[in-house]
Amino acid sequence: MSNPASHPWWTDAVRRRVGLISRGEATKRGVPHLTRPKYAAELDELDRFWTWLEWFETPLGTRGPRPKGIWRSVPAWAWKVQGEYETKHPRPKPPPSSPPPKPKPQPETEGAHPDRWVGLGFVATAANASPTLYATGPIRIVCPQIAFGLNHPDTDPDLESTRRLISGCRAVGLEVAGWAWCADASQADAEGRYHAKVALGLGLLRLVANMEEPYDAHGASGDPRYLAPDVYAQAFRAVTSQVELGLTTTPRWGSSGNGFRAAGATIMPQAFTGEVPSATIPACVEHAEAWGWPRSRIRPLVQCYETNGVRPDAVTYNADAARYGVGVVPYTLEQTHDGEGQEMLRTLAPSITRVPM
């Protein structure tokens, strides 16, 4: 059989491979005695899973490069068994990133703390970021991408650039958050848990989930994507209550926000007016409010990169943000390194540093 996972007994075979069930129990569940050459493909896949599991269970601070020959996109059955394995064999807490954060009390996240996002700025590619430049302006928290679905970003597959960025930011007095692309609503539980673990492994205290089309039910409550964000938020909180959770979405996103609100999240709708002229701050704020978000927990992302050679007008962003009483989050910081980009950040400073109502 070309696809070992198509066997009805496959997941139990994997459980047997990592010692979650006994040989006798596996036999009762229909797992045959696996020998070569008849089950060569199945045995190779079991070896691949074990190689991946040993690598994944190694704390991020000491984990080596991703082994050759394992999946780039981890299958759902592997995540299922990994979760069961970790429940039975909890990993030790990862060591803190170096240098460590400045010592200060960090209470558990209980309720909403929208003030913890003041001064946030997104980074799309960690290798291109410049902490020393950001430290001269209104940015207080640098937020690089740390995950794509159930993997690290393609632009930083081993998170080495991200770790260097974290160290560079802390060296100049900046805090660091992370953001993660949510790729598949059908694996919301696994993505929520994985993103929480990556954030903890990097020593981060804030994580923004980026939920766009893959998690957008467009208002259709019968669509499986409608409740997927709730599943994600609950899974994230099942892993940690110590990481502040944020949510960024397209401007007219139509899925449940109940789980994220219950987890204390702030929403950051994307007011990218250069890309979508109707995606203004007023439109984003009013839509989020109509879907149950209090204004104090709405902080739009604003476009700082060029579209057709032109950036959106920072003065208009400021006027709209002041009129609605919301702060803003620039996207992306590495697109502001030129003189015009730096001027845009300086102009946006009152909105970037605005404390929630």
Answer yes or no: do 16 and 133 share one domain: no
Strands 301-303 and 266-271: parallel
Answer yes or no: do 347 and 204 share one domain: yes
Domain boundary among 41, 73, 88: 88
Residue 99 maps to a domain: no
Answer yes or no: do 339 and 213 share one domain: yes
Answer yes or no: do 171 and 64 share one domain: no
Answer yes or no: do 47 and 159 share one domain: no
Answer yes or no: do 245 and 171 share one domain: yes
Answer yes or no: do 293 and 195 share one domain: yes
Answer yes or no: do 17 and 139 share one domain: no
pLDDT digits (tens, 9 = 90+) for 167-199: 999 999 999 999 999 999 999 999 999 999 999
Residue 133's domain is classified under what CATH number? Answer: 3.20.20.80
Domain boundary among 88, 104, 126: 88
Residue pair 31/43 in contact by the 8 Å Cβ criterion: no
Residue 103 maps to a domain: no
Residue 98 maps to a domain: no
pLDDT tops 80 at residue 92: no
Number of domains the chain contains: 2
Q: Please tell me the least confidently modeled range out of 87-91, 121-125, 209-213.
A: 87-91
Strands 141-148 and 178-181: parallel
Which residue range forms the structural domain that includes residue 23?
Answer: 4-88
Percent of the chain exceeding pLDDT 70 equals: 92
pLDDT digits (tens, 9 = 90+) for 125-153: 999 999 999 999 999 999 999 999 999 99
pLDDT digits (tens, 9 = 90+) for 270-309: 999 999 999 999 999 999 999 999 999 999 999 999 999 9
What SS3 class is residue 294?
coil
pLDDT tops 50 at residue 155: yes
Of 82 and 339, the structure prediction assigns the larger pLDDT to: 339
